Amino acid sequence: MRSDQGCAKTACAAKEPAERHPSPAASGAPPLLTVVIPTLNEAETLPLLLTDLSQQAGVALEIVIGDGGSTDATCSLAASLGAKVVNAERGRGAQMNSAAQQAGGDYFIFLHADCRLDDPGLLAKALSALQQAERAQPCIAGHFRLRFLRTTQGNRLAYRYLEGKTALNRVNTTNGDQGMLLSRAFFTQLGGFDPSLPFLEDQRIAEKIRAQGQWITLPGCLTTSARRFESEGFHRRYLLMAMMMGLHTLGETSFFLRAPGVYRVQRETGRLLLSPFFALVWRMIREDWGFGGSVRAFLRLGRYLLDNAWQFFFFLDVCMQPLLGANRLPLLAAYDRFIAPCLRLRLLNGLAGLLCFVWFMGVLAPYFWLSETVTATRPTTRTTT
Q: pLDDT by residue (tens digit) across 124-152?
A: 999 999 999 999 999 999 999 999 999 98
Average pLDDT over residues 161-170: 94
pLDDT in tens, 356-365: 999 999 999 9
Grade residue 354 by pLDDT with cuts at 50, 70 and 90: very high
The per-residue pLDDT for 2 is 38
Q: Is the pLDDT of residue 375 over 50?
A: yes
Q: What is the pLDDT of residue 268?
A: 53
Stretch 108-113: mean pLDDT, rounded?
Answer: 97
Average pLDDT over residues 10-36: 52
Kindly tell me if the per-residue pLDDT of 29 is higher than 50: no
Q: Determine the average pLDDT of the residues in 48-57.
A: 97
Q: What is the pLDDT of residue 10?
A: 39
Read off the pLDDT of residues 288-338 as tens digits, 9 standing for 90 and up.
999 999 999 999 999 999 999 999 999 999 999 999 888 899 999 999 999
Strands (E), the chain: 33-39, 61-67, 84-87, 107-110, 115-116, 140-149, 180-183, 214-225
pLDDT in the model for residue 224: 94
Q: Give the pLDDT score at 347.
A: 87
Is 94 in contact with 88 (CB distance < 8 Å)?
yes
What residue segments make up the domains of the chain, in order of their start?
9-225, 230-377
Q: What is the pLDDT of residue 196?
A: 86
For 227-236, what is the mean pLDDT?
91
Q: Which residues contact 76 (CB under 8 A, 6 or more apart)?
A: none
Per-residue pLDDT band at 258 (split at 50, 70, 90)? confident
Please count the other Cβ atoms lying within 10 Å of the Cβ belonging to residue 195.
18
Contact in structure between 46 and 73 (CB atoms under 8 Å): no
pLDDT score at 250: 87
Q: For the whole model, what pTM was predicted? A: 0.86
pLDDT of residue 31: 53
pLDDT of residue 19: 36
Query: Sign of the C-alpha dihedral, residues 211, 212, 217, 223?
Result: negative
pLDDT confidence of residue 380:
53
Q: String of b and e for 119-151 (b: at least 16 CB within 10 Å)?
A: bebbbbebbbbbbebbeeebbbbbbbbbbbebe
The CATH homologous superfamily for domain 9-225 is Spore Coat Polysaccharide Biosynthesis Protein SpsA; Chain A (3.90.550.10)
Q: What are the residues whose beta carbons fall under 8 Å from the beta carbon of 350, sequence distance 6 or more?
A: 299, 302
pLDDT, tens digit, for every residue of 82-103? 999 999 999 999 999 999 999 9
158 CB-contact burial (10 Å; exposed 0-12 / middle 13-18 / buried 19+): middle
Supply the mean pLDDT for the chain: 88
Of the two residues 301 and 9, the one the predictor is more confident about is 301
Report whether pLDDT(183) > 50: yes
Percent of the chain at pLDDT > 90 equals 76
Model confidence at 35, pLDDT cuts 50, 70, 90, reads very high
